[in-house]
Protein backbone atom coordinates (compact mmCIF):
# COMPACT_ATOMS: atom_id res chain seq x y z
CA UNK A 1 0.00 0.00 0.00
CA UNK A 2 0.97 3.64 -0.43
CA UNK A 3 0.58 6.74 1.75
CA UNK A 4 1.09 9.75 -0.47
CA UNK A 5 4.22 8.87 -2.44
CA UNK A 6 5.53 6.50 0.25
CA UNK A 7 5.42 2.81 -0.64
CA UNK A 8 4.99 0.56 2.39
CA UNK A 9 6.19 -3.03 2.54
CA UNK A 10 3.11 -4.26 4.37
CA UNK A 11 0.01 -2.97 6.15
CA UNK A 12 0.72 -3.82 9.78
CA UNK A 13 2.02 -0.79 11.67
CA UNK A 14 3.37 -0.05 15.16
CA UNK A 15 1.24 2.55 17.04
CA UNK A 16 2.93 5.61 18.46
CA UNK A 17 3.31 5.07 22.23
CA UNK A 18 4.90 7.63 24.53
CA UNK A 19 7.48 5.97 26.77
CA UNK A 20 7.42 2.79 24.67
CA UNK A 21 8.17 3.30 20.94
CA UNK A 22 11.68 4.69 21.36
CA UNK A 23 14.48 3.73 18.96
CA UNK A 24 15.41 0.39 20.63
CA UNK A 25 11.83 -0.92 20.64
CA UNK A 26 11.25 0.27 17.08
CA UNK A 27 14.34 -1.64 15.91
CA UNK A 28 13.04 -4.78 17.61
CA UNK A 29 9.65 -4.40 15.88
CA UNK A 30 11.28 -3.71 12.53
CA UNK A 31 13.20 -6.99 12.78
CA UNK A 32 9.82 -8.68 13.01
CA UNK A 33 8.60 -7.17 9.75
CA UNK A 34 6.57 -4.20 11.01
CA UNK A 35 5.31 -2.25 7.96
CA UNK A 36 5.73 1.23 9.44
CA UNK A 37 7.10 2.46 12.75
CA UNK A 38 5.75 5.50 14.61
CA UNK A 39 7.85 7.45 17.09
CA UNK A 40 6.61 8.57 20.48
CA UNK A 41 4.64 11.81 20.28
CA UNK A 42 6.86 14.88 19.96
CA UNK A 43 5.91 18.25 21.44
CA UNK A 44 5.83 20.68 18.48
CA UNK A 45 6.60 23.71 20.65
CA UNK A 46 9.59 22.00 22.29
CA UNK A 47 10.86 21.10 18.82
CA UNK A 48 10.55 24.76 17.75
CA UNK A 49 12.52 25.80 20.85
CA UNK A 50 15.30 23.36 19.89
CA UNK A 51 14.86 21.35 23.09
CA UNK A 52 17.71 18.82 23.44
CA UNK A 53 15.62 15.97 24.89
CA UNK A 54 13.08 16.37 22.12
CA UNK A 55 15.79 16.22 19.48
CA UNK A 56 17.16 13.03 21.06
CA UNK A 57 13.74 11.42 20.59
CA UNK A 58 14.05 12.12 16.87
CA UNK A 59 17.02 9.86 16.23
CA UNK A 60 16.13 7.55 13.35
CA UNK A 61 18.34 4.67 12.16
CA UNK A 62 18.87 3.62 8.56
CA UNK A 63 17.26 0.20 9.01
CA UNK A 64 14.02 1.62 10.45
CA UNK A 65 12.49 3.08 7.31
CA UNK A 66 9.72 3.85 6.66
CA UNK A 67 9.15 5.87 9.84
CA UNK A 68 6.38 8.26 10.84
CA UNK A 69 7.25 10.97 13.34
CA UNK A 70 4.25 12.06 15.39
CA UNK A 71 3.93 15.66 16.57
CA UNK A 72 1.35 17.20 18.88
CA UNK A 73 0.18 20.72 19.54
CA UNK A 74 -2.80 22.97 18.86
CA UNK A 75 -1.14 26.21 17.80
CA UNK A 76 -1.19 26.33 13.98
CA UNK A 77 1.90 28.52 13.90
CA UNK A 78 4.06 26.22 16.02
CA UNK A 79 2.68 23.13 14.30
CA UNK A 80 3.54 24.65 10.89
CA UNK A 81 7.04 25.55 12.12
CA UNK A 82 7.53 22.05 13.52
CA UNK A 83 6.49 20.57 10.15
CA UNK A 84 9.06 22.78 8.49
CA UNK A 85 11.78 21.63 10.90
CA UNK A 86 10.83 18.00 10.24
CA UNK A 87 11.56 18.48 6.53
CA UNK A 88 15.24 18.19 7.49
CA UNK A 89 14.77 14.82 9.23
CA UNK A 90 14.82 11.43 7.48
CA UNK A 91 11.29 10.28 8.41
CA UNK A 92 9.04 9.55 5.43
CA UNK A 93 5.74 10.53 7.08
CA UNK A 94 4.71 13.29 9.48
CA UNK A 95 1.81 12.32 11.75
CA UNK A 96 -0.38 14.59 13.86
CA UNK A 97 -1.69 13.48 17.25
CA UNK A 98 -5.36 14.27 17.85
CA UNK A 99 -6.02 11.37 20.17
CA UNK A 100 -3.91 11.69 23.30
CA UNK A 101 -6.19 11.65 26.37
CA UNK A 102 -3.57 12.58 29.02
CA UNK A 103 -4.66 15.48 31.28
CA UNK A 104 -1.33 17.31 30.88
CA UNK A 105 -1.87 17.29 27.10
CA UNK A 106 -5.61 18.03 26.84
CA UNK A 107 -5.43 20.83 29.39
CA UNK A 108 -3.52 22.83 26.74
CA UNK A 109 -6.10 22.00 24.08
CA UNK A 110 -3.71 19.48 22.46
CA UNK A 111 -4.20 15.79 21.56
CA UNK A 112 -7.82 14.61 21.70
CA UNK A 113 -8.98 18.06 22.95
CA UNK A 114 -8.36 19.41 19.46
CA UNK A 115 -11.22 17.24 18.17
CA UNK A 116 -13.60 19.43 20.21
CA UNK A 117 -12.66 22.40 18.07
CA UNK A 118 -13.00 21.37 14.38
CA UNK A 119 -12.22 24.89 13.13
CA UNK A 120 -8.91 25.06 14.99
CA UNK A 121 -8.22 21.44 14.02
CA UNK A 122 -8.59 22.43 10.36
CA UNK A 123 -6.19 25.35 10.86
CA UNK A 124 -3.61 23.05 12.45
CA UNK A 125 -3.95 20.47 9.66
CA UNK A 126 -3.69 23.13 6.96
CA UNK A 127 -0.59 24.68 8.56
CA UNK A 128 1.17 21.33 8.83
CA UNK A 129 0.27 20.20 5.29
CA UNK A 130 1.36 23.56 3.88
CA UNK A 131 4.76 23.40 5.58
CA UNK A 132 5.55 19.73 5.17
CA UNK A 133 7.36 18.35 2.14
CA UNK A 134 6.30 14.87 3.26
CA UNK A 135 2.88 13.21 3.35
CA UNK A 136 1.03 14.21 6.53
CA UNK A 137 -1.19 11.73 8.37
CA UNK A 138 -3.57 12.19 11.28
CA UNK A 139 -4.43 9.98 14.25
CA UNK A 140 -7.75 10.57 16.00
CA UNK A 141 -10.13 9.00 18.50
CA UNK A 142 -13.87 8.47 18.12
CA UNK A 143 -14.58 11.81 19.80
CA UNK A 144 -14.28 13.48 23.19
CA UNK A 145 -17.09 11.60 24.94
CA UNK A 146 -20.27 9.68 24.07
CA UNK A 147 -22.15 12.96 23.50
CA UNK A 148 -19.60 14.39 21.09
CA UNK A 149 -18.68 11.61 18.68
CA UNK A 150 -17.33 13.48 15.65
CA UNK A 151 -14.63 11.25 14.15
CA UNK A 152 -16.35 11.20 10.75
CA UNK A 153 -16.60 15.00 10.67
CA UNK A 154 -12.90 15.35 11.58
CA UNK A 155 -11.94 12.68 9.03
CA UNK A 156 -13.72 14.60 6.25
CA UNK A 157 -12.05 17.84 7.33
CA UNK A 158 -8.69 16.05 7.33
CA UNK A 159 -9.18 14.83 3.78
CA UNK A 160 -10.17 18.34 2.64
CA UNK A 161 -7.05 19.77 4.32
CA UNK A 162 -4.78 17.44 2.34
CA UNK A 163 -4.08 14.73 4.91
CA UNK A 164 -2.74 11.58 3.20
CA UNK A 165 -4.01 8.86 5.58
CA UNK A 166 -6.06 8.71 8.76
CA UNK A 167 -5.59 6.42 11.77
CA UNK A 168 -8.62 5.94 14.01
CA UNK A 169 -8.67 4.50 17.54
CA UNK A 170 -12.28 3.53 18.26
CA UNK A 171 -12.54 4.94 21.78
CA UNK A 172 -13.56 8.35 23.09
CA UNK A 173 -11.18 10.47 25.14
CA UNK A 174 -13.36 9.82 28.18
CA UNK A 175 -12.90 6.07 27.76
CA UNK A 176 -9.12 6.33 27.85
CA UNK A 177 -8.26 2.64 27.28
CA UNK A 178 -11.29 1.12 29.04
CA UNK A 179 -14.12 -0.86 27.47
CA UNK A 180 -13.89 -2.26 23.97
CA UNK A 181 -12.68 -0.30 20.96
CA UNK A 182 -15.57 0.42 18.58
CA UNK A 183 -14.60 -0.92 15.16
CA UNK A 184 -17.87 0.29 13.56
CA UNK A 185 -16.49 3.83 13.61
CA UNK A 186 -13.55 2.59 11.50
CA UNK A 187 -16.00 1.22 8.86
CA UNK A 188 -18.01 4.42 8.97
CA UNK A 189 -14.93 6.54 8.32
CA UNK A 190 -13.79 4.18 5.58
CA UNK A 191 -17.14 4.73 3.85
CA UNK A 192 -16.86 8.50 4.10
CA UNK A 193 -13.34 9.34 2.91
CA UNK A 194 -11.14 8.10 0.10
CA UNK A 195 -7.66 8.44 1.65
CA UNK A 196 -6.24 5.26 3.31
CA UNK A 197 -7.78 4.46 6.71
CA UNK A 198 -5.66 2.79 9.39
CA UNK A 199 -7.72 0.86 11.95
CA UNK A 200 -6.55 0.88 15.57
CA UNK A 201 -7.69 -0.52 18.90
CA UNK A 202 -7.64 -3.92 20.59
CA UNK A 203 -5.64 -5.96 18.07
CA UNK A 204 -3.84 -8.47 20.29
CA UNK A 205 -3.75 -11.59 18.10
CA UNK A 206 -3.46 -12.67 14.48
CA UNK A 207 -7.19 -13.45 14.54
CA UNK A 208 -8.00 -9.92 15.81
CA UNK A 209 -6.08 -8.40 12.91
CA UNK A 210 -7.93 -10.45 10.31
CA UNK A 211 -11.27 -9.65 11.97
CA UNK A 212 -10.50 -5.94 11.96
CA UNK A 213 -9.53 -5.96 8.29
CA UNK A 214 -12.60 -7.98 7.31
CA UNK A 215 -15.13 -6.14 9.49
CA UNK A 216 -14.00 -2.60 8.77
CA UNK A 217 -12.44 -2.83 5.29
CA UNK A 218 -9.62 -0.61 6.60
CA UNK A 219 -6.48 -0.31 4.49
CA UNK A 220 -3.96 -1.02 7.25
CA UNK A 221 -3.91 -1.84 10.93
CA UNK A 222 -1.95 -0.24 13.74
CA UNK A 223 -0.96 -2.18 16.86
CA UNK A 224 -0.06 -0.65 20.21
CA UNK A 225 -0.42 -2.68 23.39
CA UNK A 226 -0.53 -5.92 21.42
CA UNK A 227 3.10 -5.35 20.43
CA UNK A 228 4.35 -4.72 23.98
CA UNK A 229 6.61 -7.68 24.82
CA UNK A 230 5.26 -9.21 21.61
CA UNK A 231 7.00 -7.78 18.53
CA UNK A 232 6.43 -11.16 16.82
CA UNK A 233 2.84 -10.11 16.23
CA UNK A 234 3.94 -8.23 13.07
CA UNK A 235 5.66 -11.23 11.53
CA UNK A 236 2.86 -13.60 12.52
CA UNK A 237 0.12 -11.39 11.00
CA UNK A 238 2.07 -10.84 7.79
CA UNK A 239 2.83 -14.55 7.54
CA UNK A 240 -0.85 -15.38 7.95
CA UNK A 241 -1.83 -12.85 5.29
CA UNK A 242 0.65 -14.35 2.84
CA UNK A 243 0.13 -18.05 3.54
CA UNK A 244 -3.07 -18.54 5.57
CA UNK A 245 -0.95 -20.35 8.17
CA UNK A 246 -0.63 -19.25 11.80
CA UNK A 247 2.98 -19.43 13.03
CA UNK A 248 3.55 -20.83 16.53
CA UNK A 249 3.92 -18.40 19.43
CA UNK A 250 7.55 -17.43 20.19
CA UNK A 251 9.45 -19.87 22.41
CA UNK A 252 10.81 -18.99 25.86
CA UNK A 253 14.30 -18.71 24.34
CA UNK A 254 13.08 -16.28 21.69
CA UNK A 255 11.34 -14.17 24.32
CA UNK A 256 14.27 -14.00 26.71
CA UNK A 257 16.89 -13.54 23.98
CA UNK A 258 14.83 -10.71 22.48
CA UNK A 259 14.45 -9.08 25.90
CA UNK A 260 18.25 -9.26 26.31
CA UNK A 261 18.86 -7.87 22.83
CA UNK A 262 16.33 -5.06 23.49
CA UNK A 263 18.10 -4.24 26.75
CA UNK A 264 21.45 -4.08 24.92
CA UNK A 265 20.02 -1.64 22.36
CA UNK A 266 18.50 0.44 25.17
CA UNK A 267 21.86 0.64 26.97
CA UNK A 268 23.53 1.79 23.73
CA UNK A 269 20.86 4.43 23.22
CA UNK A 270 20.10 5.70 26.72
CA UNK A 271 23.08 4.57 28.84
CA UNK A 272 22.94 1.85 31.51
CA UNK A 273 21.29 3.86 34.31
CA UNK A 274 18.25 4.92 32.28
CA UNK A 275 18.05 1.77 30.15
CA UNK A 276 17.90 -0.69 33.05
CA UNK A 277 15.02 1.29 34.58
CA UNK A 278 13.19 1.92 31.31
CA UNK A 279 13.45 -1.76 30.43
CA UNK A 280 11.68 -2.98 33.56
CA UNK A 281 8.25 -2.58 31.99
CA UNK A 282 9.40 -4.20 28.73
CA UNK A 283 10.91 -7.15 30.61
CA UNK A 284 7.63 -7.60 32.51
CA UNK A 285 5.79 -7.64 29.15
CA UNK A 286 8.19 -10.19 27.62
CA UNK A 287 7.81 -12.45 30.64
CA UNK A 288 4.03 -12.13 30.96
CA UNK A 289 2.35 -15.51 31.15
CA UNK A 290 5.58 -17.47 31.65
CA UNK A 291 6.00 -19.82 34.59
CA UNK A 292 6.86 -18.08 37.91
CA UNK A 293 7.62 -14.90 36.02
CA UNK A 294 6.24 -12.62 38.76
CA UNK A 295 9.15 -13.59 41.01
CA UNK A 296 11.88 -12.90 38.47
CA UNK A 297 10.12 -9.69 37.38
CA UNK A 298 10.11 -8.42 40.98
CA UNK A 299 13.80 -9.29 41.32
CA UNK A 300 14.69 -7.52 38.08
CA UNK A 301 12.80 -4.42 39.24
CA UNK A 302 15.40 -4.04 41.99
CA UNK A 303 18.49 -4.61 39.82
CA UNK A 304 20.49 -1.63 38.59
CA UNK A 305 23.14 -3.14 36.32
CA UNK A 306 22.92 -4.48 32.78
CA UNK A 307 25.09 -7.53 33.56
CA UNK A 308 22.89 -8.56 36.47
CA UNK A 309 19.66 -8.26 34.47
CA UNK A 310 21.16 -10.40 31.70
CA UNK A 311 22.36 -12.99 34.18
CA UNK A 312 18.97 -13.08 35.92
CA UNK A 313 17.15 -13.51 32.60
CA UNK A 314 19.53 -16.25 31.46
CA UNK A 315 19.19 -18.06 34.80
CA UNK A 316 15.40 -17.86 34.55
CA UNK A 317 15.49 -19.20 30.98
CA UNK A 318 17.58 -22.20 32.10
CA UNK A 319 15.11 -22.89 34.95
CA UNK A 320 12.18 -22.78 32.54
CA UNK A 321 13.88 -25.07 30.03
CA UNK A 322 14.83 -27.60 32.72
CA UNK A 323 11.23 -27.73 33.88
CA UNK A 324 9.83 -28.17 30.36
C1 LIG B 1 1.66 3.59 26.92
C2 LIG B 1 0.91 4.19 25.77
C3 LIG B 1 1.37 5.36 25.19
C4 LIG B 1 0.69 5.93 24.10
N5 LIG B 1 1.19 7.05 23.51
C6 LIG B 1 0.61 7.53 22.38
C7 LIG B 1 1.19 8.58 21.63
O8 LIG B 1 2.28 9.10 21.97
N9 LIG B 1 0.54 9.01 20.51
C10 LIG B 1 -0.64 8.45 20.09
O11 LIG B 1 -1.20 8.87 19.07
N12 LIG B 1 -1.22 7.44 20.77
C13 LIG B 1 -0.61 6.95 21.88
N14 LIG B 1 -1.15 5.88 22.52
C15 LIG B 1 -2.35 5.23 21.96
C16 LIG B 1 -1.96 4.09 21.02
O17 LIG B 1 -1.22 4.56 19.91
C18 LIG B 1 -3.21 3.34 20.50
O19 LIG B 1 -4.02 4.26 19.81
C20 LIG B 1 -4.03 2.73 21.63
O21 LIG B 1 -3.20 2.08 22.58
C22 LIG B 1 -5.04 1.74 21.08
O23 LIG B 1 -4.41 0.73 20.34
P24 LIG B 1 -4.08 -0.73 20.98
O25 LIG B 1 -5.39 -1.30 21.46
O26 LIG B 1 -3.50 -1.50 19.84
O27 LIG B 1 -3.14 -0.52 22.11
C28 LIG B 1 -0.50 5.32 23.62
C29 LIG B 1 -0.96 4.14 24.22
C30 LIG B 1 -0.27 3.58 25.27
C31 LIG B 1 -0.79 2.29 25.87
Task: Write down the pLDDT at residue 35.
Answer: 98
Which pTM does this prediction carry?
0.97
Q: Would residue 100 show up in a list of annotated catalytic residues for this protein?
A: yes
Interval 251-271 mean pLDDT: 97
Contact 70, 38 (CB under 8 A): yes
Residue 323 reports pLDDT greater than 90: no
Atom of ligand 1 nearest to the CA of 200: 23
- Judge contact between 212 and 183, C-beta under 8 A: yes
Distance 322 CA to ligand 1 centre (A): 37
- Percent of the residues in the chain that have a pLDDT greater than 90, as a whole number: 98
Instruction: Reduce the DSSP state of residue 14 to 3 states and report it.
Output: strand
Report the residue among 93, 111, 167, 169 best suited for mutation to probe ligand 1: largest number of ligand atoms under 8 A from its CB: 169
At residue 22 the predicted structure's pLDDT band, cuts being 50, 70 and 90, is very high
CA of 182 to the centre of ligand 1 (A): 15
Q: What is the pLDDT of residues 136-163, one digit of tens each?
A: 999 999 999 999 999 999 999 999 999 9
Residue-level pLDDT at 61: 98
85-94: average pLDDT = 98
Of 29, 34, 48, 100, which is the active-site residue? 100
Count the neighbouring beta carbons within 10 Å of the beta carbon of residue 101.
Answer: 19
Cβ-contact 138, 162 below 8 angstroms: no
| Ligand 1, atom 4, residue with closest C-alpha | 17
pLDDT digits (tens, 9 = 90+) for 110-124: 999 999 999 999 999
With the most atoms of ligand 1 within 8 angstroms of its CB, the residue from 12, 13, 14, 17 to mutate is 17
Q: Where are the alpha helices (DSSP H) in the chain?
A: 23-31, 44-48, 52-56, 76-86, 103-106, 118-131, 151-160, 184-192, 206-216, 232-243, 252-270, 272-287, 293-300, 306-323
Ligand 1 centre distance from Cα of residue 53 (Å): 21
CA of 273 to the centre of ligand 1 (A): 26
Task: Say yes or no to pLDDT of 324 above 80.
Answer: no
Amino acid sequence: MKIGNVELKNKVFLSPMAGVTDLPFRLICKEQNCGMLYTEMINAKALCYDDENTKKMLKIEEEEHPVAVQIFGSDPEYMGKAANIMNEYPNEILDINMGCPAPKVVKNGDGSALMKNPKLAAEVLTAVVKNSEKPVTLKIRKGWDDNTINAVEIAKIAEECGISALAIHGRTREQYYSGKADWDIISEIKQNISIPVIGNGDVFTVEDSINMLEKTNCDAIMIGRGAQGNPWIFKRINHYMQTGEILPEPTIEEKINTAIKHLGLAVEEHGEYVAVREMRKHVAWYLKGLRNSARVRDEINKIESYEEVVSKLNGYMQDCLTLE
